[in-house]
């Protein structure tokens, strides 16, 4: 378990690829610099999509938490 406190959570469980990444990008758009957004996704594609995009956009992927039936991604807006 991570002790990171997110500023906002995007629950994209059930959304098909690329829904979770697009949902995350949408929330990051409206976030302030330094905000941490937690993305919940049960699509395996997110395990590659999210790190690739975070690096491309210069945002930091702080942690990926593996939970029972989904993953939680913590992304800090640059």
Partner 1 sequence: MTEHVVIVGGGTGGTVLANDLADRLEPELDAGDVRVTLVNDDPDHVYKPVWLYVPFGQRELGDGRRALDDLVDDAIDLRIDRVSDIDTEARRLRFRGNSPPVGYDHLVLATGSTLEPDRIPGLAEAGHDYYSESGATDLRDELLAFTDGDLVLSVIGTPHMCPAAPLEFVFMADDWLRERGLREDVDITYTYPIQRVHGNPHIAEWARPLMEERDIRTETFFNAEAIDPEAETITSMEGTELEYDLLVAIPPHAGVDLIEEAGLGDDGWVDVDRRTLEAEAAENVYALGDTADTGVPNAGSVAHYQAGVVGQRLASEIRGRPATATYDGKTLCFIETGMDAASFVEFDYENPPSPAPPSEKLHWSKLAYNESYWLTARGLL
Q: How far is the CB of 42 from partner 1 (least distance, A)?
A: 12
| CA separation for the pair 67, 18 (Å, rounded) | 20
CB-wise, 3 or 69, nearer to partner 1?
A: 69
- What is the footprint of partner 1 within residues 43-62 (CB under 8 A)? 49, 52-53, 56-58
Active-site residue, selected from the candidate residues 17, 57, 67, 78: 17
50 assigned to active site: no
| CA separation for the pair 67, 40 (Å, rounded) | 10
Q: Give me the numbers of helices (H) and strands (E) for the chain, helices first please.
A: 2, 4
Per CB under 8 A, the list member of 13, 18, 35, 47 interacting with partner 1 is: 18
Q: Indicate the Cα dihedral angle 13, 15, 16, 22, nearest 10°.
A: -100
| Residues of the shown chain interacting with partner 1 in the complex, contacts defined by CB under 8 A | 14-19, 21-22, 25, 28-29, 49, 52-53, 56-58
């Amino acid at each position: 378990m991570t002790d990171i406190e997110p500023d906002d959570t995007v629950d994209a469980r059930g959304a098909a690829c690329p829904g979770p990444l697009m949902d995350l990008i949408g929330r990051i758009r409206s976030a302030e610099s330094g905000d941490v957004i937690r993305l919940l996704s049960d699509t395996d594609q997110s395990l590659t999509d999210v790190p690739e995009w975070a690096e491309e956009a210069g945002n930091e992927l702080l942690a990926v938490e593996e939970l029972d039936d989904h993953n939680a991604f913590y992304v800090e807006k640059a």
